[in-house]
Structure 1
């Protein structure tokens, strides 16, 4: 009957949050006590809820019992299947009251709202950098530990997050499941498709607060901001030279290894950077019949 009356008689003594059922209060208390009584027998990771342990076990068994009836993609959790189904229905029932942007799940809307409030409640205990959501903090923490637990079964390259591994795997499969409805160009990631769609609309929603220059991607804005702050967060481990972009560091590293992966298909001369190859083709082979 409490579900109909909205009465919540059970109160947390720590944060004063209220609950309808005592069992819900007990589960909540574990967020304060950090108690995790449920342990995985395979990797010994611990969880506060039995349901979380059950979902975790599927990562060991690789079992994916939930199947999409549209594209037959399989998932290990019913919640993941429900989110996936929205990619087919294009339904976005959760809308931002500030900018009216729509989202398929409430969690995405909550994360988005932090953009308007500029709230960053999650703090790194090492460098005190702040983040909007806990997932971003977890990803950041790996930069301190240098841990890379996710390994590619094809080339054995290792990654700090499962998302980075999934993205990398597409370089082996060459799969590009996301297609543009306007020009039919395909992409390996949904984020790449979203960025590409802005080239059709000419929208540039990301604006620099200093010089008011606008960009169609948040990543481009972040790189641009480094021109104002002069920050160079990427450092060469060999000579300690610093760079403001990771791509620049990667290109620089080739000067130490003497690797030249960019080869001219006309004269077979090789270069460490693609821009050097393009400059070579323009200056040396611009009148070539091969072009």
Structure 2
């Protein structure tokens, strides 16, 4: 009943009403020095105990291992731990890939197996990496956490923002070693290099024609399927290529963006300007 009452027969001014708690607490209060944790308020009789206790607080400066997620509070121990990982080399049995990190090898192996363990609950799309799934989910939520400081552009993908910023800075970090041409995006350099090598990795399964760009293969496939996905809103005419639709729309708008520098005459299509220029150079016109 005493536990429910207001009286506390075993009273320490700073602590509990229970006798079994009183003895160790009085010992603590009777000592000359008390060491308190500034984070949680815990009291220790020895400074060494306080130091060890503080290491349990994540809020303190800590070092997290990206390989195994182990957390260290001392930089020296963290460095020693990381060396232990780097001593090992994890190699792919199917190709020459190797890494100091086991998790990196796990991700790489999925490029061979096609394994995609991370699935979207909304549409069922699967991905080989968790980070890719996270980015994909933003296509459903509309979240665009990466914003440009110079304009209103925002994106759900961090790398898309990096590419966009180069439209402001003019940076073109990817250069062709053969001709010096530079690009803001690495994929454009890869496409450009095929002009030098003649590589055409995209082949049509129906006729065998090959192309240096996937987009060109997609356009070509429409010659077999007769697909015309681009339609004119004004007259309903359909086209297999977006560029053909743009040229067609000019027949409605009267736009003529291609001008002759010699006589000022304008044309709706670039090919018509090329034919016109031959009238100035006396070249025979192509029939």
TM-score for both structures, normalised by structure 2: 0.48
Higher gyration radius (CA)? 2
TM-score for both structures, normalised by structure 1: 0.48
